Structures are given as structure tokens and as C-alpha cells.
Amino acid sequence: MALSSIHNVTAEVNLSETATLSSPLQDLISDKVCSLIQAINFAIICELIDVLGTVANIINVVCFCKQGFKDSVNISLL
């Protein structure tokens, strides 16, 4: 009975040829400008939206309280 030979296949990976992925925005703006835009977005715009949302919610609570709690819709919206 003859044994069949098994061929081992090895794959070589060349680590020096790594692919770099570049997005279209990396070509348009630098890392410093990107960091500045993110800081402005998080520090100013998001905080402004948070404050305005809180003020609007307080106004809604006051309006629903003035309408009274006789209607079940007002209770569920609070």
C-alpha cells in the first residue's frame, strides 16, 4: 500500500509592503485642521445643542404643568 505524499503550502507575507489607506479628506485638510474642527464641534456646537435642548425641555415641562394633570396625555408626556 503506497502512502500519498502531502504537499505543504506556505505563504510568505512581505511586511514591508503594507497598504496605506487614504481617505479623500486626508488630501484636503491637515491633521491640525482636523483636530481644530473636532475641538470646535465638541466644545462649542455640542454644548450649545445640549443647553438649548435643556432649556426647551424645561419650557415643555412648565407648559404641561400649567395645562394640568387631568388629561392622561400630559402625564405620559412628562
**Distance from C-alpha of 48 to C-alpha of 77, rounded to nearest angstrom:** 24
Q: What is the pLDDT of residue 22?
A: 61
List the chain residues with pLDDT less than 70.
Answer: 1-26
Closest C-alpha among 29, 47, 27, 26 to residue 37: 29
Cα 34 to its chain centre, rounded Å, is: 16
Q: What is the pLDDT of residue 51?
A: 96
Closest C-alpha among 64, 60, 63, 66 to residue 74: 64
Nine cell digits for residue 14: 512581505
